[in-house]
Amino acid sequence: MGNLLEQVQCSQYLDTDEKNSLAALSRSELLDGDPAPLIDQLTAFAAELFNVPIVLFSLLDAHRQWLKSRVGPDVEESLREYSFCAHAIVCDDVFEIPDARCDTRFANNPLVTGRPHIRFYAGAQVKADDHQALGVLCLIDTTPRSLTSLEKNRLTQLADIISTIVSPVAVRTVLRSEKENQFMLSPFNFFTRASRLLAEECRKSLGLGVVKLRSLVQLRNTRGFTFSERVCDEMVNALRRLSPGIVIATRIGFDRFCLIAKQYDRVDETTLNMEKLENALHVPLQVDGEDIDVQAQLLWTTSLEGLDNSQQVMNLIAELQTFSKQFSPNQRLVTCSNALLNEIICQEQFRNALPHALKAKHIYFEFQPKIDAKTLKIAGFEALMRWRHPTLGPVAPNKIVSACEDLGIEQQLVSYTLDWVFRQTATWRRNNLLGSRTVSINMSAKDLSSPLFTGTLKRLLATHELPGHYIEIELLEDGIVDNLARCVANMLESKKLGVVFSIDDFGTGFSSLSYLHQIPADILKIDKSFIDRLDQQKDSAALITAIISLAHASGMHLVAEGIETPTQAQTLRALNCDYFQGFHFQRPIPVAQVNALLEKDATYRLS
Ligand code: G
Ligand code: MN
């Protein structure tokens, strides 16, 4: 170990971050320690989860890479010079090489050209107590592939679990308490015990909670790691003392615990244990005679019905953590209802069915007319995505979009959508039904910012022999700012083809006005929430008037969305709005009904 520290000090070529992580490594006394069977179980778990032949947990020092735990290769150490992990260890996100042969940094690497013939690599940092990276958990395959954002999250999560295991103090917490109170388990034991519990107990009577100690990171930064670990120890004691319902618990990250508890206390069948726990969490912890407020937040499910294996428990925790980001910091107890839990489980189910639905063309579109305010005739349609899952029923378009993002197939969905709608639009045009009407398609700013976007658009317009001016693209106001330059460049390129752009749900994003002039949009769609208020609130009309004159002054047209009453329609016409859309005129309808409307050139009525 002393050697290692010396090496760290004399290795001039390492940057400060790397030196720090080497120092952390030497402090953690892991290099020559016993191989941890727990980590072996986790790497085996990872190999199965990601379906890869090689999984390594490697530690790096100045010259070498030690394979602390491995599935696959039969070597224990290798040269740092050739190490993929040496790149991953300085990368805060998952370091991914989809195909090493196509990457100039690795194409000639002996591990790529020779055994084990690495093609795919993905590694996530394993961190020491003080958050210094000390090693990498990585997946390796001999064929090219890439991870979806969901899989990247899972890999990071597993690496975090290993961080917790290798962090000596945390290990001490778990081991000591595993002896003392039975319920505090290491993460791996937690997952295996969870699946056993799910098999044995009535799932309805069990709930799952995630406790986050919001002030812990700050405590570590101001008072030091040893102190923040003392706080965690006290938290464990408090969990044991205060909450009789907890069956098992584990630490799933630096500032987070996960637990499974019986829903009701045996003595008192009416008070939920989680509510008791929530109250208990707000009693300040006593650490060295000092009162510490850890600002605990508890997120919990009221039942584990529908889950039946440890994999699903892990998924649930991942989903809960994503879900918890939507809640404000001062919210202390967040209940994940049965409905929501069900949604999480369904999400998993339909996510799995989605690639097939795309292939089998089960996803289709309905169309909602957009009405010209002057003539009250149809000026165009908005295409709305529809999918009916065989058992779960209709799935909302935003869920389809986010699931595709999780699966990493969002580009496929974009092509599918454009292809479907262009084909239909071209058919109407060929049948002389379309006239000068336009068809609009919803796209996320993320899709529009993709370097592939304009290529796909051009190719599919050509395939269907459709001039671009029949197509309008509706962009959600939210998210445009993230990648403004690329988004705008793609918009300008598409506009050369005649494509028109509108900003959807205008008024719901908070920075709207400030960057509106930077976006080359032709149409604003005023969000339904403004229209809803028209009936009750006088100032709502004033606001809409302001938006309309602002838009007109910049040469844009206005669409009012979500019109449901004749009064709203009349007011909006008086306010000089250009187009109407909403249930008052027409709900979204399937193609056959659109054909009928176009054939008779329907005229709508205001009242
Ligand atoms: O965000 P965007 O404007 O793309 O949303 C369109 C959605 O709004 C569609 O799902 C459509 O069914 C729905 N919608 C359209 N008109 C109305 C309406 O008048 N009332 C309500 N509640 N929803 C509407
Ligand atoms: Mn829309």
Region label for 295, one of left (φ > 0), alpha (ψ between -120 and 50) or beta (otherwise)? left
Is the CB of 187 within 6 Å of ligand 1?
no
Strands 557-560 and 523-526: parallel
pLDDT for the residue 542: 84
Nearest by Cα to 216 from 287, 114, 264: 287
3-state SS class at 267: coil
pLDDT for the residue 219: 86
pLDDT for the residue 1: 30
Is the CB of 583 within 6 Å of ligand 1?
yes
**For residues 242 and 270, what is the distance between their CA atoms, to the nearest angstrom?**
17
pLDDT for the residue 298: 84
pLDDT for the residue 25: 47
Whether the CA torsion 186, 94, 445, 485 is positive or negative: it is positive
pLDDT for the residue 322: 62
Is the CB of 564 within 6 Å of ligand 1?
yes
pLDDT for the residue 265: 66
3-state SS class at 504: strand
CA-closest residue to ligand 1 atom 11: 588
**For residues 5 and 8, what is the distance between their CA atoms, to the nearest angstrom?**
5
pLDDT for the residue 473: 97
pLDDT for the residue 577: 96
Ligand 1 pocket test target in 368, 401, 523, 568 with most atoms within 8 Å of CB: 368
Closest ligand 1 atom to residue 588 Cα is 12
Q: Tell me, rounded to whole angstroms, the distance of Cα 207 from its chain centroid.
A: 23
Nearest by Cα to 163 from 189, 185, 134, 138: 134
Kindly list the protein residues that place their beta carbon closer than 5 angstroms to ligand 2, a single-atom ion: 442, 474, 504
pLDDT for the residue 324: 63
pTM listed for this prediction? 0.60
As averages over each run of 10 residues, the pLDDT of the chain (607 residues) reads 31 42 47 55 80 87 75 71 87 93 91 90 85 87 88 84 66 50 69 78 78 84 80 85 76 79 70 76 88 86 71 69 62 64 70 88 97 97 94 86 83 96 98 97 90 95 98 81 83 97 81 70 92 82 86 92 95 95 97 97 93
Closest ligand 1 atom to residue 525 Cα is 3
Tell me the ligand closest to 562's alpha carbon. Answer: 1
pLDDT for the residue 480: 61
**For residues 196 and 184, what is the distance between their CA atoms, to the nearest angstrom?**
16
pLDDT for the residue 391: 79
Type of residue at 166: V
